Chain A
Amino acid sequence: AQSVSQHNHHVILSEAASLELGCNYSYGGTVNLFWYVQYPGQHLQLLLKYFSGDPLVKGIKGFEAEFIKSKFSFNLRKPSVQWSDTAEYFCAVIAAAGNMLTFGGGTRLMVKP
């Protein structure tokens, strides 16, 4: 069975700081990878996804993530965060031929104005 680990449970940054949220998964086969974001009071939204091809994927709102297969990682990055990025971020993985999406524990990001 696959599992997903997000190393940082809470992150506090000032505006304009750079962001990197770690995500590691355990599964030996081909995977699809996702980052979802949940803004306060809103539902989960897809931030970006990786299926195949270029391991550096770009998502909405200036976010990007890099799939490093050798490290089983899919870290999320943003060069300069804004107050409006305050949210909870979830990494998720599914085996490419699977049927169960497995989520990490989430990282709660607070950006101070």
Chain B
Amino acid sequence: EADIYQTPRYLVIGTGKKITLECSQTMGHDKMYWYQQDPGMELHLIHYSYGVNSTEKGDLSSESTVSRIRTEHFPLTLESARPSHTSQYLCASSGQTSRSYNEQFFGPGTRLTVL
């Protein structure tokens, strides 16, 4: 079944560690996105990609980096995690439909806590 996957679902880690949040989709979509969502707050776009080897920063500045080496895979990396990075990270994808590119499908999210 076509879907979008994120691992891990929950991560508790110490300050200074390098972490990679995984996102994969089997929907054949070429656009992928990372959002950051603090509890009870709105979603903010931090990175997006139009396709392989394409990455752009979103409207919220983030110390994380992303890569898009394969269409289906869009990992997010924090080189040195800090408590200020504690948040929920949501991955999404969108693709060409008969009407629009603009409907996004979301993964289950990764809830990150940095101690």
A interface list, Cβ under 8 A from B: 1, 32, 34, 36, 42-46, 49, 51, 90, 94, 96, 98-106, 108
Distance (whole angstroms) from the CB of B108 to the closest CB of chain A: 4
Q: Tell me if A46 and B102 are in contact (CB < 8 A).
A: no
**Cα(A104)–Cα(B92), bound, Å:** 17
Number of A-B contacts (CB under 8 A): 51
Q: Is B2 part of the binding interface, using a Cβ–Cβ cutoff of 8 Å?
A: no
Q: Tell me if A106 and B40 are in contact (CB < 8 A).
A: yes
B interface list, Cβ under 8 A from A: 31, 33, 35, 40-45, 48, 50, 58-59, 90, 92, 99-100, 102-109
**Cα(A103)–Cα(B92), bound, Å:** 13
The interface residues of chain A lying within 8 Å CB-to-CB of B100 are 32, 51, 96
Q: Tell me if A90 and B43 are in contact (CB < 8 A).
A: yes
| Closest chain A residue to B59, Cβ basis | A100
| Closest chain B residue to A41, Cβ basis | B108
Q: Tell me if A32 and B105 are in contact (CB < 8 A).
A: no
The interface residues of chain A lying within 8 Å CB-to-CB of B50 are 99
The interface residues of chain B lying within 8 Å CB-to-CB of A106 are 40-42
Q: Tell me if A43 and B106 are in contact (CB < 8 A).
A: yes
Q: Tell me if B58 and A100 are in contact (CB < 8 A).
A: yes
Can you pick out 26 interface pairs between chain A and chain B where the beta carbons lie within 8 Å of each other? A32-B102, A32-B103, A36-B106, A43-B106, A43-B107, A44-B90, A45-B106, A46-B105, A49-B103, A94-B102, A96-B100, A98-B102, A99-B48, A99-B50, A100-B45, A100-B48, A100-B58, A101-B33, A101-B102, A101-B104, A103-B42, A103-B43, A104-B42, A106-B40, A106-B42, A108-B40
